[in-house]
């Protein structure tokens, strides 16, 4: 079938079949390929034809289950952005299923995090990333360092690395054992930083390095810290780096049972 026939097929014998198919093809930017067959379409065009076929029925809610997973990265991002713009323009409500955390953060108005079929948290991308309700959500979304400590006072934690300061009041009593998270982007590299470690591995990404640092402590296993460093630093395994780290939020602390 041609692209036009493929989309129109969803309407069956609807009397407005021709006009509605023409309209949705125009909205989706498919007019120029309306008479093309599947083998003549790019991956992105095929995706838009499939979306047009779903939207022409004017569904109350559209379920999209990893619709771009079979596309190459560059094409996937382009097609995804085009598709989301169209969906927003026509006011469609979409339930988008994805295992790609960054995709979920970048495209969603609301995110639902599920564990074994149970919803753990629903919120905006900002809320999910910055105010996780439990440790599962914290560890599921984004990169992080999860460390253990003991509450010393309202703003200080004792850890195997030494004292770590919290920017917000700690919501647990003195002596409580907790786990706390620090995102790689919240770790500051400094010549006179409080902590020092050895670079174990790096992942160069152009504008930055995603690196793993090992902090060696006498009579204790190494503590591994993930950091982000400017791409201009040209760091490499074996380099020694000093850094500071603070717990950013009370939402980043979790009581250990």
SS (H, E, C) 21-65: HHHHHHHCCCHHHCCCCHHHCCHHHHHHHHHHHHHCCCCCCEEEE
Quote the CA–CA distance of 189 and 174 in Å, as a whole number: 30
Domain regions of the chain by residue span: 3-97, 145-255
Positions in the chain short of pLDDT 70:
15, 257
Cα 51 to Cα 217: distance, rounded to the nearest angstrom? 56
User: Does the structural domain 145-255 have CATH classification 2.40.50.140?
Assistant: yes
DSSP single-letter state for residue 236: -
**Which of 143, 152, 136, 135 lies closest to 253, judged by CA?**
135
CB atoms closer than 10 angstroms to residue 203: 9
Rg, Å, the chain Cα set: 25
Q: Residue 90 is encoded by which pair of tokens?
A: 């026509």
pLDDT of residue 257: 67
Check the CA dihedral 136-142-148-154 and report its sign.
negative
| Residue 238 falls in which region: left (phi positive, over 0), alpha (psi -120 to 50) or beta | left
- Nearby residues of 93 by Cβ (< 8 Å), 6 or more positions away: 60, 61, 62
Task: Report CA-CA distances (Å) from 219 to 103, 150, 162.
Answer: 42, 19, 14
In CATH terms, the fold of domain 3-97 is: Rossmann fold (3.40.50)
Give 40's strand partners: none
Q: Cα separations (Å) of 191 from 54, 232, 244? A: 57, 16, 10
Return all residues near 85 (Cβ < 8 A) that are at least 6 apart.
none
Q: Six-digit token pair at 9?
A: 């097929």
pLDDT for 72 = 78
């Amino acid at each position: 079938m041609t692209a036009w026939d493929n989309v129109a097929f969803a309407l069956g014998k609807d009397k407005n079949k021709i006009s509605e198919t023409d309209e949705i093809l125009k909205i989706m930017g498919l007019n120029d390929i309306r008479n093309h067959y599947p083998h003549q379409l790019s991956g992105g065009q095929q995706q838009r034809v499939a979306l047009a076929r779903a939207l022409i029925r004017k569904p109350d809610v559209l379920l999209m289950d990893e619709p771009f997973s079979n596309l190459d990265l560059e094409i996937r991002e382009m097609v995804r952005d085009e598709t989301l713009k169209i969906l927003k323009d026509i006011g469609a409500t979409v339930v988008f299923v994805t295992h790609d955390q960054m995709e979920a953060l970048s495209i969603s108005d609301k995110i639902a995090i599920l564990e074994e079929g149970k919803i753990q948290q629903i919120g905006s991308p900002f809320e999910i990333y910055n105010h996780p309700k439990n440790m599962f959500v914290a560890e599921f979304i984004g990169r992080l360092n999860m460390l253990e400590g003991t509450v010393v006072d309202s703003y200080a934690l004792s850890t195997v690395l030494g004292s770590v300061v919290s920017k917000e009041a700690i919501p647990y009593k003195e002596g409580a054992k907790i786990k706390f998270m620090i995102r790689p982007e919240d770790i500051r590299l400094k010549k006179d930083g409080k902590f020092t470690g050895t670079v174990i591995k790096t992942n160069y990404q152009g504008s930055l390095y995603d690196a793993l640092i090992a902090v060696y402590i006498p009579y204790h296993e190494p503590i591994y810290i993930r950091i982000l460093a400017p791409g201009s630093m040209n760091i490499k395994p074996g380099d020694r780096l000093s850094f500071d780290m603070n717990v950013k939020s009370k939402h980043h602390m979790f009581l250990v049972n």
